[in-house]
Amino acid sequence: MGRSGSFERISRSGDVDRLFRTGRFIRTRGLKLGYRPNGREGHRVAFAPTRSLRRAVDRNRQKRISREAYRRLYARIVGSYDLVFVIYGDATATTRERCDDMVTVLGAARLLERRTR
Q: What is the mean pLDDT of residues 23-27?
A: 92
| Residue 6 confidence class, pLDDT cut points 50, 70, 90 | low
CATH of 3-106, one of 3.30.230.10, 3.30.70.20, 3.40.50.300, 2.30.30.190: 3.30.230.10
Integer angstrom CA distances of residue 6 from 12, 43, 92, 93: 18, 12, 23, 22
pLDDT digits (tens, 9 = 90+) for 63-114: 999 999 999 999 999 988 999 999 998 888 899 999 999 999 999 999 998 7
Residue type, 12: R
Summarised one tens digit per residue, pLDDT across range 39-55 is: 888 889 999 998 888 89
